[in-house]
A = this chain, B = another copy of it.
């Protein structure tokens, strides 16, 4: 059993995304992250457009990518995406780009805030979408870590108590 929800999205690798180095141009991985993120949102039971229809945008506040292995045109690649952090004011998604031999080609994360469409003022994801926020609490990466830490502590507590 997966300890937290990891979505998998196969990417359509396009010639347009290569550069004269013969590999995928680095900026295009961010588009792949976007596709992975949308898949995760769908797997969690939502759609990004739900946010926009409710009057919000979820712009990217920060990105970080480390490139491990160049992707070539003709390779089959998949983006694996999960919720890394789910705070009141931001959500951090984690990503791995893997090829069909299971090699990690890139990994990274994007941090998103939630803003009102009309004025781009930040709002709390937790308040704007409480159910969606709770869903992320269930599927996020650190939930189980928290549980584990709790169990370790509880075990020690009980051990000490006896």
- CB contacts (< 8 Å) of A64 on chain B: these are 62-65
The answer to whether A70 and B120 touch (CB under 8 A), given A19-B20, A27-B31, is yes
Are the C-beta atoms of B59 and A26 separated by less than 8 Å? yes
- Given A14-B35, A16-B19: A26 and B73 interface contact (C-beta under 8 Å): no
State the oligomeric state as a number of copies.
4
Contact code string A115-128 (vs B, CB < 8 Å = 1, else 0): 00000100000000
Partner of A20, one of B15, B27, B60, B120: B15
Interface assignment of A105: CB less than 8 Å from any CB of chain B: no
Pick the residue among B11, B34, B63, B66 that contacts A16 (CB under 8 A).
B34
A70 to B16, CA, bound (A): 15
CB-contacts of A130-162 with B (<8 A): none
Min CB distance A17 to B, Å, is: 8
Query: 29 A-B Cβ contacts within 8 A?
Result: A12-B12, A14-B31, A14-B35, A15-B19, A15-B20, A15-B38, A16-B25, A16-B27, A16-B31, A16-B34, A18-B19, A18-B20, A20-B22, A20-B73, A21-B59, A23-B59, A26-B63, A27-B27, A27-B34, A30-B30, A47-B74, A49-B74, A62-B66, A62-B67, A63-B63, A63-B64, A63-B65, A64-B65, A70-B120
